[in-house]
Amino acid sequence: MGNGMAENVFPVPGVENIPGVYQNRMKTAQKNTSVITVTVKYLSVLRDKTGIRQEEVSLSEKSVLGDVADFVHRKYKVPDPLIMFVLNGRGWNQHPDRLATTLKNGDTILIFPPVSGG
Amino acid sequence: MAGMFLEICKRLQHPDTKYSDKFNMEELMEAFKGAYMGKVLRVDLSSKKHSVENLNEEEVKLLLGGRGLAAKKYYDEISPDVDPLGPENKVFFMTGPLTGVKLPSTTKFQLSTKSPETGMYLCSNCGGDFGPQLKRSGFDGMIIEGKAPDWIYLTIKDGEVVFGDASSWKGLDSNATLQKLREAIGEKRAGLMSIGPAAERLVRISYINVDTRAFGRGGPGAVLGSKKLKGIAVKGTNVIPVADEDRVLRIWKEAVKDLRTSRANHTKYGTAQYIEAINEFGCMPTNNFQTTYFENAHLVDAHTMKEKYYVKNYHCFNCPVGCGMVCEVKDGPFKGARARTEYETIGMLGPDCGVDDFGAIVAGNDLCDSLGIDTISGGNAVALIMELYERGLITKEDTEGIEAKFGSGTAMVELIRLIGERRGIGDLIAEGMKGVLAKKPEWSPYILAVKGMPFAAYDPRGFYGNALTYGTSNRGACHNVGGWTIRAELQSGAYDRFALKGKGLLVKTIQDNRAYVDSLGICTVVRGSMSFSDNPQGDVLEAVTGYDFTSKLLEIGSRVYTLERLILNREGIRRENDILPERILKEAVPSGPIKGQVLTEDMYREMLDEYYNERGWDSDGVVLDETVNRARLNEILT
């Protein structure tokens, strides 16, 4: 992935786990370009990895769902096969463009371990 | 082998032959090198006598065990006019071929009986030690029939049956009764099942407590209550034979290794891990399914549970996962309450009653266990009372002074007590949703049930496949028997959760999968580790039984489901009984992530048509003769 993700989106080592740092840095870096903000919610066991329940993530316009997957993977070291992405209520693989689905301002992305009955 | 099999088939065709008592057991069981004990215990409470019957090879090959064989017993012995609470009703307990075998979570056994809650066929599965102990005692199953003149209990020790006087146990809560049973059989480790005071009062949503697990839904506790059977203890020391011990050991090691990672989240949080996710998907029942999103879900989710209430994990027999989370309230008004609180219970006693106090949920769960009440039906019942109260349809006079408002944990707990003790409005609610509707049809808009069984903790407007699940489940609105579609509808990529097309086949496949898993005798949580999916693989069954069922498993599941629908048809169930309640089909979701979502009756009926077509049922939901024959049920049904 990586197409559409703005430059300088990842904070320097040591501050990546401080909520808000990424967002502020992003806004500063991109103040002269179009930026969208999406809500990312970390559900269930994922919260153990992130330490936060949800965050607002700012991205450059035309970013895609895969960019958020990439962001989460890099920021929180969550292995891809163990997480599921839901964009605006539908699984990533139910969108025609799947992880290449273009995001828009205000989108909500749920991230959680795959569910199974019990 | 083929010659012997043909000879058996010939004998089966003889009109006067009662194969269960005339065939030579060793000959019949030659087809299986392990897994089955070959015997079923029949206990008549009226005469206090018991007998032993042989298992039938042909039925085993077609129905596997557990749920399949329990359904067949029901088909043979329970006519449509039987009163669920009359002495003519029976309870059929059946283990599966894997029950008690040294493989992960081979804990399950199955029950069939006529349900006091729905008035029709009920199947139910349960974990704990009882199933494995029953099998070690020498029996694949046990049939309870008749009615004792006064309260009794049973002990079964390596096949020896003893009737004990339980008159002094009357009124004991279900957990205390388990302890009495343990003392009565004189074994530290035994399989125990009991009923609580609610079942004694014939509350139609009462459960059977099994080693602190439960036959929860449908009111089977009331059936035992009607028979004045307070409990059963079983202990066995026999070895359950397996066809190939080395292969079984290898499979055990591989499966345990797999489960340590694949089910690590279940070990850490149990099923409570889904509270937050289901809420965010917008299908958490809230305030009696008036909406589908609970604002304070974070106060009752898995993290709150783990941080403030978790005590330890509970493991069923042979289970390396231990998804049971023992919780205890450490302070506040419910201090000391202790229960194993899981997803459905949290959903129904929490958000569906508007309650955001996890301590109250644990207390409600604890009280349900003491009284012996199913937490899913119990939560629905309390939520119904709260809605009736808030709408002014009942008053404090009906609730004996309880301010029955959504959000009150105290009210939720006290309303459970009201139902369990049949006081005030609780006496009517204790008749179950079907009984309530019979007396108060005008309350229909507030009752969320199909065929008399209330919904589980998923609003079907959030996943349309789940709507079909509730409508076509063979025991009423159940997410297990009916097929848990959420994984497929959210994650597989093959289905849109709000689409109609394809849901008929999806639901049928999941139902058939579950039906064979319930017939095997293992827990659904571990089935993936042994490749028991909708494309079953591996050599588990061959290693255990010596007979390769694997390629036929989905076919067996479909056969079991068809047999159950035949029973329901015989009991008068048709298409109109498969329709969802009006709140779901008439009201748009008013808030939350799926605000505005509508599932109309026309949309639902379109899915139902597809489902019937996939099943081979006619447009009225009746199983076609050709479907019966294709399933080979004509070979074993009379």
Q: How far apart are CA B193 and CA A100, in angstroms?
A: 54
pLDDT at residue A83, as a whole number: 79
Q: How far apart are CA B455 and CA B476, in angstroms?
A: 8
Q: Closest-CA residue in chain B for A116? A: B487
Q: Is the pLDDT of residue B283 over 60?
A: yes
Buried b (16+ CB within 10 A) or exposed e, B475-490: bbbbbbbbbbbbebbb
Comparing CA positions, the residue from B383, B364, B384 lying closest to residue B375 is B364
Report the percent of chain B where pLDDT is more than 90.
Answer: 92
Confidence of residue B75 (pLDDT cuts 50, 70, 90): very high
Comparing CA positions, the residue from B129, B156, B338, B317 lying closest to residue B231 is B156
The lowest-confidence range among B150-164, B346-360, B488-502 is: B488-502
Q: What are B324's strand-pairing partners?
A: B314
8 Å CB contact of B268 and A43: no
Cβ proximity of B346 and B365 under 8 Å: no
Q: Is the pLDDT of residue B115 over 50?
A: yes
8 Å CB contact of A44 and B486: no
Model confidence pLDDT, tens digit, residues B25-36: 565 567 888 999
Triad A109, A111, A117: Cα angle to 5°? 125
Average pLDDT over residues B577-601: 97
Q: Which residues contact B427 (CB under 8 A, 6 or more apart)?
A: none
DSSP secondary structure letters along B14-40: -TT--HHHHS-HHHHGGG-SSS---EE
Chain A residues in contact with B265 by the CB 8 A cut-off are: 44-45, 113
Q: Closest-CA residue in chain B for A112? A: B277
Confidence of residue B4 (pLDDT cuts 50, 70, 90): very low
Average pLDDT over residues B159-178: 97
Average pLDDT over residues B519-539: 92
Of B265, B273, B493, which is closest to A94 when you measure between CB atoms? B493
Q: Closest-CA residue in chain B for A41? A: B280
Interface test with A, best of B490, B497, B525 (most A CBs within 10 A): B490
Q: How far apart are CA A82 and CA B521, in angstroms?
A: 29
Of A110, A113, A118, which is closest to B280 when you measure between CB atoms? A110
Using DSSP bridges, classify how beta strands B39-44 and B141-145 pair: parallel, antiparallel or unpaired: parallel
Cβ proximity of B23 and B8 under 8 Å: yes
Q: Is the pLDDT of residue B532 over 60?
A: yes
- CA dihedral (B327, B330, B332, B338) positive or negative: positive
| Residue B146 in tokens | 């008749």
Using DSSP bridges, classify how beta strands B152-157 and B229-235 pair: parallel, antiparallel or unpaired: parallel
Comparing CA positions, the residue from B504, B615, B513 lying closest to residue B562 is B615
8 Å CB contact of B266 and A118: yes
Q: How far is CA B409 from CA B1, B376, B391, in A?
A: 63, 16, 19
Q: Is the pLDDT of residue B12 over 80?
A: no
pLDDT at residue B23, as a whole number: 43
Q: Is the pLDDT of residue B1 over 90?
A: no
8 Å CB contact of A45 and B496: no
Nearest CA-CA distance, residue A81 and chain B, Å: 12
Q: Is the pLDDT of residue B15 over 50?
A: no
Q: Is the pLDDT of residue A2 over 70?
A: no
Domains and CATH numbers, chain A: 5-112 (3.10.20.30)
pLDDT at residue A117, as a whole number: 57
Q: For residue B284, count other CB atoms closer than 10 A to its CB.
A: 30
Q: Indicate the SS3 state at residue B112.
A: strand
Q: What are B125's strand-pairing partners?
A: B110
Comparing CA positions, the residue from B9, B14, B126 lying closest to residue B67 is B126
Q: For residue B77, count other CB atoms closer than 10 A to its CB.
A: 15
- Residues in chain B whose Cβ is within 8 Å of chain A: 265-266, 268-269, 271, 273-274, 276-277, 280-282, 298, 302-303, 323, 343, 479-480, 484, 486-487, 490-493, 495-497, 524-525, 528, 593-594
Compute, in degrees rounded to 10, the torsion defined by CA atoms B44, B233, B364, B446.
-30
Q: Is the pLDDT of residue A18 over 80?
A: no
- Compute the mean pLDDT over every residue in chain B, rounded to the nearest whole number: 94
8 Å CB contact of B277 and A45: no
Greater model confidence, A13 or B484: B484
Using DSSP bridges, classify how beta strands B324-328 and B141-145 pair: parallel, antiparallel or unpaired: unpaired
Model confidence pLDDT, tens digit, residues B119-144: 999 999 999 999 999 999 999 999 99
Confidence of residue B270 (pLDDT cuts 50, 70, 90): very high
Q: Closest-CA residue in chain B for A89? A: B281
Q: How far apart are CA B51 and CA B69, in angstroms?
A: 18
Q: Is A82 on the interface with B (CB under 8 A)?
A: no
Q: Indicate the SS3 state at residue B114.
A: strand
Interface test with A, best of B307, B491, B507, B518 (most A CBs within 10 A): B491
Q: How far apart are CA B96 and CA B111, in angstroms?
A: 11
Q: Indicate the SS3 state at residue A95.
A: coil
pTM score: 0.92
pLDDT at residue A25, as a whole number: 36
Nearest CA-CA distance, residue B355 and chain A, Å: 20
Chain B residues in contact with A90 by the CB 8 A cut-off are: 490, 496-497
Buried b (16+ CB within 10 A) or exposed e, B581-593: bebbbeeebeebb
Q: Indicate the SS3 state at residue B571.
A: coil
Q: What are B92's strand-pairing partners?
A: B112, B143
The lowest-confidence range among B203-212, B433-442, B489-498 is: B489-498
Task: Please report the ipTM that was assigned to this predicted complex.
Answer: 0.84
Q: Is the pLDDT of residue A29 over 70?
A: no
Q: Which residues contact A28 (CB under 8 A, 6 or more apart)?
A: none
Q: Which residues contact B80 (CB under 8 A, 6 or more apart)?
A: B570, B571, B572
| Residue B138 in tokens | 């020498």
